[in-house]
Amino acid sequence: MKIPGDKSVPIVCLILSIFLGLIAWLLFNINESSATSTEISLSSILERPQPEIVISDEAKLEIENFRILLVPGHDDENHGAEFLDNENLIKESDFNLNVTNELLNILEKDKQIETFITRTENGYTKEFLDYFETEKESILEFKKESDKKSKFLKDDPIEEVHQNKVPAEVSFKLHGINKWANENEIDLVVHAHFNEYPRKDENTEGDYSGFSIYIPKEGFKNNPESAKFAENIRDYLNDVFPETNAPVESDVVIQDSDLIAIGAHNSLNSPSVLVEYGFIYEPKFRGGNSEQVFKSLATQTYLGIKKTLFDF
Ligand SMILES: [Zn+2]
């Protein structure tokens, strides 16, 4: 009997070992390739250029910028308070511009803030002139809505210290500015004014001096932020300037429900303050150092704005 194994055993072994070797090689390769492919896919994800996120200019504005509206009180037609200084008639509307122009200079250097202003030495800016013209009907409607609400807010326990009777034209413009601020999602509104009070001879210096700040009444939608904003401006202003000593303004930050500028009858969304920077007859606002005084009023207001926006 032939033993069949003598020659065929090495051949079977050879085939088996080739087969096993092949399997080992395959397994090794599978492992290696899966490891390599993991590496490749991870690194390719990490190194793959990220899809570019396109942000529209409008959205960019919301992410990067705050929007401030400066309103130098009154205008060339209605110039507000006045004071005769040696035959030189001082108009409040000019003083208000002195502050807002300085403030605009500072704010324009701040890349995080976009600033709008309602008027300059040349009158209302084109933006607002156009708005008053094209939105006339809707502004009148906005005003009507605001006046309607006033009927429900008459039980006002806070003494109204401000003269609220304003000519129709002034009322129209202020309502227009508020409507514009609502539509343009303004973060903070600053109205600049100088004070006066009724007295016998309004061309002599009065008894009162110092600044005060008017804010919308408690319960109004823009009251909480306006109150914070006003306290911040107050903190910085009183580092340099005295607070008002007029008895009716003893709170310094005073709530008002009827002042159109800060959103009479809950009509303004944006936090808003009306700063009376001092009394128009105060000597520091005229003469040699007055430019520095206006600059300083603007700088302290700017610090109050920054603190409100960035909460440092
Ligand atoms: Zn005024």
Q: Residue 41: its pLDDT value, please?
A: 39
Three-state DSSP state, 218: coil
* Strands (DSSP E) found in the chain: 66-72, 82-85, 88-91, 113-117, 119-120, 123-124, 188-195, 212-216, 253-256, 272-279
The b-or-e profile of 45-63 (16+ CB within 10 A means b, else e) is eeeeeeeeeeeeeeeeeee
What's the CA-to-centroid distance between 195 and ligand 1, angstroms?
Answer: 6
Phi and psi angles of residue 71, each rounded to the nearest 5 degrees, phi first = -125, 100
Q: Are strands 272-279 and 212-216 parallel, antiparallel or unpaired?
A: antiparallel
CA distance 73 to 139: 19
**What is the DSSP annotation of 235-297?**
HHHTTTSPBP--GGGTTSEEEESS-GGG-GGG---S-EEEEEEEETT-GGGSSTTHHHHHHHH
pLDDT for residue 187: 96
Distance CA 260, CA 169 (A): 13
82 CA → ligand 1 middle, Å: 10
What is the model's pLDDT at position 147? 83
Between the CA of 193 and the centroid of ligand 1 the distance, in Å, is 4
- What are the φ and ψ backbone dihedral angles of 272, each rounded to 5 degrees? -145, 140
Beta partners for residue 67, in sequence order: 114
265 Cα to the center of ligand 1, angstroms: 20
- The C-alpha atoms of residue 302 and residue 297 are separated, in whole angstroms, by 9
88 bridge partner residues: 85
What averages of pLDDT result for each successive group of 10 residues across the chain (312 residues)?
48 57 52 39 39 45 76 95 93 98 96 95 97 97 85 45 68 95 96 95 93 95 96 97 97 94 90 97 94 97 96 76
Output helix, strand, coil percentages for the chain, rounded to the nearest 5.
Answer: 50, 15, 35
Calculate how far, in angstroms, residue 244's C-alpha sits from the geometric centre of ligand 1: 15
Tokens of 68: 């401030």
Measured in Å, residue 72 CA sits from the centre of ligand 1 at: 9
- Measured in angstroms, how far is the CA atom of residue 43 from the centroid of ligand 1? 66
Residue 30: phi and psi, rounded to 5, are -60, -50
- Ligand 1 centroid–CA 29 distance in Å is 85
Instruction: Give the residue among 217, 203, 221 at the shortest CA–CA distance from 251.
Output: 217
- Tell me what pLDDT residue 43 has: 40
Rounded to whole angstroms, the maximal C-alpha distance in the chain is 148
- CA 261 / ligand 1 centre spacing (Å): 10
What is the distance in A from the centroid of ligand 1 to the CA of 10? 113
Q: For the chain, what is the radius of gyration of the CA atoms?
A: 35
Asked if 212 and 276 count as a contact pair (C-beta separation under 8 A), the reply is: yes
The residue type of 196 is E
Q: Distance from the CA of 276 to the center of ligand 1, in angstroms?
A: 7
Q: How far is the CA of 149 from the centre of ligand 1 (A)?
A: 24
Distance 215 CA to ligand 1 centre (A): 14
- Give 277 Cα–ligand 1 centroid separation in angstroms: 10
Task: Kindly report the pTM of this predicted structure.
Answer: 0.76
Strands 272-279 and 253-256: unpaired
